Amino acid sequence: MARNYWAPVILWNFQATKKVKGLEHLDPGQPYIVMANHSSFLDIPILFRSLPFYLFFIAKKELKRLPFLGWFMMAAKMIFIDRKNRNKAKESIRQAGVLIKNGQNVVIFPEGTASRDGEIGPFKKGGFHLALQSEVPILPIRIEGTGTIWPRGKFLSLKKGEVKVIIGAPIHYEDYKDMEVGKFAESVRETIISLK
């Protein structure tokens, strides 16, 4: 329902069209940790409609309180992370690891929150610890345009427009397994910034 009904209705209501580049990088039988930049709530339905497999999201627990979006995310069994409680945050990461080991695709917005100015901010480390534990490829994605259509914090300032989704080549475990987490996070950030 999320991919085939909810996401298309959301995009239709916003008159948001999409252009996807890089689908040739995907292996349908391979689970990924999808890492994308984040500038709008619209990033979630865009990713649902851009990738040919179901997605589980790790999201901050505050999103539970949002009408419609929060309700949907709970119904779709998304993983909520309590960033103020270290033990609960670790448990959320563990749950995500179980999903990945069962062949599911998990999405992380490593900035932790939506950008206000469209610039890609520093990446938090939790998703990179998850990658090291799971040993699966990271799928880097750059999303452009959602922040213009539905800017963060401006629920009544909506514009129609095109969203570009650029999928990069997967970053395999062998390529990152020996990297220090901070350098690993910065390397993936630079990869996403460079996607055109």
pLDDT at 164: 98
Nearest by Cα to 138 from 182, 173, 174, 180: 173
111: which residues sit within 8 A by CB, 6+ positions away? 37, 38, 120, 121, 122, 123, 124
Which helix (DSSP H) or strand (DSSP E) does residue 8 occupy? helix 7-13
Taking CA atoms, 62 is separated from 59, 82, 104, 156, in Å, by: 8, 8, 24, 20
Mean pLDDT to the nearest integer, 100-114: 89
Inter-residue contact 123 to 151 (CB < 8 Å): no
Q: What's the CATH code of the domain at 142?
A: 3.40.1130.10
Q: Which domain holds residue 123?
A: 2-194
Tens-digit pLDDT profile for residues 123-147: 999 889 889 989 999 999 999 999 9
pTM flag (> 0.85)? yes
When divided into structural domains, the chain yields a total of: 1
What value does the mean pLDDT of the chain take? Answer: 87
pLDDT at 156: 60
